[in-house]
Amino acid sequence: MIPFARILFALVLAFGLSLPGAARAEDISSADREAIRSMIESQIEAFRRDDAGAAYGYAAPAIQGMYPSIDQFMAMVRNQYPPVYRPRSVTFGEFIEAPGGFLQKVFLTGPDGENWVAVYSLERQPDGSWRIGGCFLMKDTAPVI
């Protein structure tokens, strides 16, 4: 991930986690956790199918505001997040209750065979649904066993 994208993610994450409506630990259920996992899986599958409209629909309003057209959003994902756009494999890691919000760790093998960790920030919408508020991508340096 380029440095600008890291800064952008940090700002989006900080903004999203500080919203007054952000979910608290006691507000999340196992059904919410399953909905979040399903949403992330569905967005990844939409990327794999090049279903831009579906993939864009999982992005939180702040992300859609930064990328007001579906084409801009997809270009950003293709260029900055190839492991998310075309993963060879996807494995869900821990769900993290962070101050003011939630994070989902996802382990990816990118199209080039390199391993990555994606940390998704999640936002509960006024209607109770969940959207992806950001994704921080970093090289997975853990030893392979």
Q: Which of the 8 DSSP states describes residue 55?
A: H
- Asked whether residue 125 is assigned to any structural domain, the reply reads yes
Q: Taking the CB of residue 26, how many other CB atoms lie within 10 A of it?
A: 7
- Residue 45 pLDDT > 70: yes
Contacts of 25 (CB under 8 A, 6+ apart): 97
Across the chain, what does the average pLDDT equal?
A: 86
- Asked whether residue 24 is assigned to any structural domain, the reply reads yes
- Asked whether residue 82 is assigned to any structural domain, the reply reads yes
- Asked whether residue 44 is assigned to any structural domain, the reply reads yes
- Average pLDDT (97-122) is 94
Q: Which residues of 77-90 are buried (b: 16+ CB within 10 A; e: fewer)?
A: beebbbbbbbbeeb
**Number of structural domains in the chain:** 1
pTM > 0.85: yes or no: no
Contacts of 97 (CB under 8 A, 6+ apart): 25, 28
